[in-house]
Structures are given as C-alpha cells and as structure tokens.
C-alpha cells in the first residue's frame, strides 16, 4: 500500500499543489471583491435586468426582490471558476487509472507488481478523498485570509460554512465516483476525460437552465448540481441531509461499480 501511495503521490503532488494555490488565491480575491460587487449590485440590476435571472440560476435558488448579503456569500461556493478548478482536478486525477495507464501503456508494469487491481483502485481513492478535503479546506482558508474586508453581515458563520463544505464535498464525491467509473471502463484517457467533462458541463447547465426554463426543471434531478445549494444552507442554516446522502450515494455506487469493472475487465495495451 505504501509503495502504491508513494507512486501516486509522485504523480499528483504538483497538480494538487497548483489547484490548491489556484483555489486559495481565487477565494481570497473573491472574498475581497464581493463587498464591492454588492455595493454596485443595485446599479447592475437596473442596467442589466437579466442579471438577476443569471444570479438566481447560478445560485440555484430564488434570490427575491433584492440580492441580500447572505445570498452573496453563496457566490464563494458556486462561482464557476471554483467549480472548474475542483472538477478539472477531479477529471485529471480520476481518469489517470486505469484509462490513463492503459493509454500510456504503463499499466503493464503496474499490474506486474504484486498489487491487486482492487488495491490499486483503493490507493487511488484514498489520495483522491484526501485531495478533495484539502482543496475544499484550502479554499476556505483563502476565504478566511481576506474575510476581514467583508462587512460583518456578509461573513458566513463557521457552522454554516462547514455545512456548505460538506455539501461541496458531496459533489466532489459524486463527480469523482462517476469519473472513476468512466475511467475504469475506458482504454483512452482522452475519451474518459471527454465523457466526464460532458457530464459535469451538462449537470451545470441543466441546473442553470432549470431556474428559468420549465422543461429543464423536469429533468433537473439528473444534475448533481441540483443537490448542491449553498445559498439555502447559508440563509437557513439547515444541513441538507437528503442532498448530501444522494450525492454520496451517486459517488459511492459509481465508485464501487468502477472498482468492479476495473477488477474484472481485460487489459490490453496493444
């Protein structure tokens, strides 16, 4: 196990570090910029009436007649750049094994070592989970760095922020589980990346469209983003047990299925 973990660490430490820096810096900047955006929000809404629809779509909840400070806090957790960094990392990480290994041909060497495919899969998973926790926590630390520049009513309390982080981790697990499943079923990393990318993009757009397009509302339950609602958590302070359970269930069942596919499939690099 230690040897496998060491091998995986060699491969992922740099992209993990870069993503951490990216999320940290972006959250710090966003936290710093949000009060200024908030100050000019009324003017923006007057000039661009559709901006309210876009904000509603992005947050996944009705923002009411005016955008409150609490609502603005949720931006920290739903901003497309934050999600793009998180998902980009996941797609990179989860498609490495086995799709990337088969694609490069290195799986021949890997599987000739005395490790079962399930061990390989579990080692990948351990570091994937740790990396997810790290990215989310580092994002929060970035926010904490500049939170003092926010007005007091805009600062999220620690328990509510923790609830949002758990919800975001649920999304991370769901997307990663699906990415592992796709990777386990594929011989080409490019193809696996494309499939997962389309999945997250469709999820994002479906959730976005469902806020103002009725037909999309009927199928919005298929989007993982439907189960991620930081604006509601921050305003109500209620932990979204149902959403988190659904996200974890999607992730774990896909992950288990991916593990079985990997353990039972034929592997040929020719």
Partner 1 sequence: MGGRQKNGGQKYADVTGLPIFLSPIFLSPIFLSPIFLSPHLPVTRLPCVSAARADAVPADHLSPPRRSGTVVAAQGSAGRSGVSPGVLFSHSEVVIDAQRLTRFYGRRVGVQDVSFQVAAGEIFGFLGPNGAGKTTVIRLLLGFLRPTSGQGRIFGCDCWRRRAQICRQVGYLPGDLRLYSWLTGRRALGILARIRGVPLLSAGRELAARFRLELDLPVHKMSRGMRQKLGLILALVHRPRLLLLDEPTSGLDPLMQDVLSDLLRERAAAGDTVFFSSHTLSEVERLCDRIAIVRDGQVVADERMEAMRQRACREVVLTFADLAAAQQLPVPPFLQQVTRIGTRWRAELTGSPTKFLSWAAELPLVDVALSPPRLENLFRRFYDAAQEDA
> Under the rule (CB under 8 A), what is the footprint of partner 1?
1-4, 6-7, 10-11, 102, 104-106, 108-109, 111-119, 122-123, 181-182, 185-188, 191-192, 195, 256-257, 259-261, 263-270
Residue whose C-alpha is closest to residue 125's, from 184, 80, 45 = 184
**Residue 38 vs 200, nearer CB to partner 1:** 200
Rounded CA separation 185/204 (Å): 24
CB of 65 to partner 1, least distance (A): 46
Enumerate residues 6+ apart whose C-beta is below 8 A from 217: 210
d(CA 169, CA 146): 23
Give the shortest CB-216-to-partner 1 separation in angstroms: 24
Least separation, in Å, of the C-beta of 127 and partner 1?
Answer: 12
Name the residue nearer to partner 1 (CB basis): 45 or 115. 115
Nearest to 6 by CA among 100, 105, 113: 113
Nearer to partner 1, 2 or 47 (CB): 2
Q: How far is the CB of 203 from partner 1 (least distance, A)?
A: 19
- Give min distance, CB of 245 to partner 1, in A: 18
**By C-beta, is 1 or 133 nearer to partner 1?**
1
Residues 239, 25, 145, 131: is their CA dihedral positive or negative?
Answer: positive
**Torsion-angle region of 228 (φ positive above 0: left; ψ -120 to 50: alpha; else: beta):** beta
Smaller CB distance to partner 1: residue 59 or 182? 182
CB of 153 to partner 1, least distance (A): 46
Tokens read off for 216: 């999309």
Measured CA to CA, the distance from residue 119 to residue 215 in angstroms comes to 44
- In this structure, what DSSP letter does residue 157 have? P
Say how many Å lie between the first and final Cα of the chain, rounded.
28
CB closer to partner 1 out of 144 and 265: 265
Sign of the CA dihedral with 94 first, then 97, 99, and 103 last: positive
């Amino acid at each position: 196990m230690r040897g496998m973990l060491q091998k995986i660490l060699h491969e992922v430490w740099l992209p993990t570090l870069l993503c951490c820096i990216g999320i940290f810096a972006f959250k710090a900047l966003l936290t710093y910029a949000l009060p200024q955006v908030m100050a000019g929000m009324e003017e923006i809404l007057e000039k661009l009436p559709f901006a309210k629809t876009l904000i509603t779509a992005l947050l996944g909840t009705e923002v009411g007649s005016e955008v409150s400070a609490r609502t603005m806090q949720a931006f920290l957790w739903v901003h497309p750049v934050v999600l793009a960094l998180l998902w980009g990392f996941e797609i990179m990480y989860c498609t490495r094994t086995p799709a990337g290994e088969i694609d490069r041909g290195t799986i021949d060497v890997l599987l000739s070592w005395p490790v079962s495919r399930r061990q390989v899969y579990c080692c990948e998973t351990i570091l994937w989970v740790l990396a997810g926790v790290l990215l989310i926590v580092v994002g929060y630390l970035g926010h904490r760095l500049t939170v003092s520049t926010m007005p007091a009513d805009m600062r999220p309390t620690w328990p509510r922020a923790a609830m949002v982080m758990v919800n975001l981790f649920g999304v991370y697990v769901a997307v990663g589980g699906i990415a592992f499943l796709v990777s386990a079923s594929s011989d080409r990393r490019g193809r696996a990346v494309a499939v997962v990318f389309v999945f997250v993009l469709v999820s994002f757009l479906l959730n976005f469209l469902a806020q103002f397009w009725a037909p999309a509302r009927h199928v919005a339950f298929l989007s993982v983003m439907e189960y991620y609602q930081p604006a509601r958590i921050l305003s109500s302070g209620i932990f979204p047990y149902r959403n988190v359970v659904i996200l974890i269930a999607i992730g774990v069942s896909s992950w288990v299925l991916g593990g079985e596919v990997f353990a039972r499939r034929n592997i040929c690099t020719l």
